[in-house]
Structure 1
Amino acid sequence: MTGMTIEDYRNTYWPQLQVAVDRLLQGPQPPYHTGRVIEFEPMYSAAYKCVCQQHSEALYNDLMSHVHKHFLKVAMEMQHLDDFQLIDSYYTIIHRVLYSLDGIIPIFTYLNKVYVSTKLSSDLRTELQNLFCKSVIDPVIEKLMVMVKQTTERTPFSIAPHVLASLVKSLHNLNPEYAQRYPQVFAGYIPGVLPAMREHELSSYINETQELQASLRQSWVSSSPRGKKRCLDEEMHT
């Protein structure tokens, strides 16, 4: 393997890798992409050569800086969303980012092994997920949790249940500390978030459950044509 100068790295190898990273960060386009976004082998080989030629630190810093800029751009775009768009939009962006990371991380497997794991005592997925959380999720996590709670309690089924469940579970996978900050929200979707219930709390829990069931029934009656007809019939007989 011939030597790689810093100029070679800057002018040839990193630009190739940067283009590949950009394509992966775009994520799957609807309908979901089924073909190859990039040629994996040449990109893996390029990253491997950079590490072997003592450019690990530069490669890591360039990768993190470039991805960080992308995440900041995403965060800026998300600021213009209406509150009622938050859940669906963050559900989409989280899945897109996780898809992107599943493509990016294998390219830099050798960087992860030689530099991130050994020098930083971490791993590339953790580093990139933390970067995503700090850049995109942390600034809106409180507002997002409020919207999830309000949707669950006041307007159930206004958002597809699988979207809510997937969003909360993905947030927990990205950063389990979110569940510690908002245990009541996460407890509805993640087992074991709350401590075991004590006996004196059981009656309160039963009351809350009954109130929620009543709310769900009322929501169904209000939204269902059959339910509305039943309410009208009841009014006519009173």
Structure 2
Amino acid sequence: MDEEGMEEEEDGGSSTGYEAAMDDHNHNSWEAGAEPDQPRDLPLLPTKGGGLNVNTSASKFRELQRCYSPEPVMNVITVEDYKSTYWPKLNSAIDQLLTQSPGDYIPISYEQIYSCVYKCVCQQHSEQMYSDLMEKIADHLERVSKELRVSPQDLYIERFNLALGQYMGALQSIVPLFIYMNKFYIETKLNRDLREDLINLFTEHVAEKHIYSLMPLLLEAQSTPFQVTPSTMANIVKGLYTLRPEWVQLAPALFSKFIPNILPPAVESELQNYAAQDQKFQRDLMQNGFSRGDQSRKRAGEELTYYGSSTCAGSRGYR
């Protein structure tokens, strides 16, 4: 049969079958014995047998080759290959990104890391890669939390600000590097988003454990001019609001100085109520071991049960 006849037979007289196959392909559906799925906006790679994992004709395949210039056949990445070669490269890059200071130059190949992630996604290692990434970053944040716990009180606010800023800066690189894992595993299979998951890790492993140590110091610094720079105060307050908006309830007046429209318009008849709410908040803090200028700050998560059955307990799972 000549090539023209073969193409007509394979095309089936319409593009419906091709489009349906591409639709299944783009939804990341895995079939028994099929080649790994690949992102829609990346080149469709040939299978081991030389064809595509969609039902397309030889002419369409040649057209794809001309348009996308696909790579040679991708070698199979075994579980052992992933553990011994691919994940170590990713692990090292993540280490550097998590510990860099603002403005630092990181000597890593973003193209190489991006390629590693793409290949692992194509070869069905997304689940393991996601698990490894979350465990890696959780371990890092546990170390950050322990370092904050032993920080001198006069350095506590600055060190928390540094830890928060460093982590948020790292996410600006980490999230794009894992964009294909996010698009074709986390969003598709888990119905979540990588950035939100990583922000939740900081909330769980750092912010939740330190919020009741940090908040009294922020309130004290607010009442003492120049004790903390305005930029540091703004960064922390805005950061806490990003992590968990309902923390506004802990100190509405403080948050309202840096987050617009936090408080409703003031009503003169309610001024006494506003004052009473502030006094109640101060009493609640004192009842849980905090007093103005307290030099024996307790470790977060140990003695504190503040709002354990009300505000904060109710705020879990907010997102």
Q: TM-score, normalised by structure 2?
A: 0.60
Unaligned runs of 5+ in 2: 1-73, 276-319
1:41 aligned onto 2:129 = no
The answer to whether the 8 A contact 2:94-2:174 is kept is yes
Match of 1:147 in 2: 217
Match of 1:234 in 2: none
1:143-178 deviations in whole A, cap 9, x for unaligned? 11111111112x121111111112111221222232
The answer to whether the 8 A contact 2:100-2:106 is kept is no
Q: Give the deviation of 1:201 after TM superposition.
A: 2.3
Match of 2:229 in 1: 160
Match of 2:198 in 1: 128
Q: How does 1:1-238 map to 2 (within 5 A)?
A: 1-28=74-101, 32-33=103-104, 35-153=105-223, 155-202=224-271
Aligned partners of 1:123, 1:99: CA distance in 2, in Å? Answer: 18
1:13-48 deviations in whole A, cap 9, x for unaligned? 11110001011111226xx31x34421000000011
Supply the AA of the counterpart residue of 2:101.
Answer: P
Match of 1:236 in 2: none
Q: Give the deviation of 1:203 after TM superposition.
A: 7.7
Aligned partners of 1:150, 1:59: CA distance in 2, in Å? Answer: 44
| Number of aligned residues | 202
1:187-214 deviations in whole A, cap 9, x for unaligned? 22111222332341258879xxxxxxxx
Farther-moved stretch of structure 1 (68-77 vs 172-181)? 172-181
The answer to whether the 8 A contact 2:157-2:217 is kept is yes
Supply the AA of the counterpart residue of 2:237.
Answer: V
1:102-122 deviations in whole A, cap 9, x for unaligned? 111111000010111112221
Change (3 A) 1:10 1:169: same
Aligned partners of 2:274, 2:205: CA distance in 1, in Å? Answer: 37
Match of 2:22 in 1: none
The answer to whether the 8 A contact 1:87-1:148 is kept is yes
The answer to whether the 8 A contact 2:97-2:106 is kept is no
Q: Give the deviation of 1:83 after TM superposition.
A: 2.1
The answer to whether the 8 A contact 1:17-1:43 is kept is yes
The answer to whether the 8 A contact 1:47-1:110 is kept is yes
Change (3 A) 1:93 1:37: farther
Aligned partners of 1:205, 1:79: CA distance in 2, in Å? Answer: 33
1:111-145 deviations in whole A, cap 9, x for unaligned? 01011111222111110110011101111101111
The answer to whether the 8 A contact 2:101-2:166 is kept is yes
Q: Which has the larger radius of gyration?
A: 2
SS of 1:158's equivalent in the other structure is coil
Change (3 A) 1:137 1:205: closer
Aligned partners of 2:256, 2:154: CA distance in 1, in Å? Answer: 22
TM-align CA RMSD = 1.8
Aligned partners of 1:37, 1:105: CA distance in 2, in Å? Answer: 18
Aligned partners of 1:182, 1:164: CA distance in 2, in Å? Answer: 13
More relative contact order, 1 or 2 (CA 8 Å, 6+ apart) = 1
State, as a whole percentage, how many aligned pairs show the same letter: 40
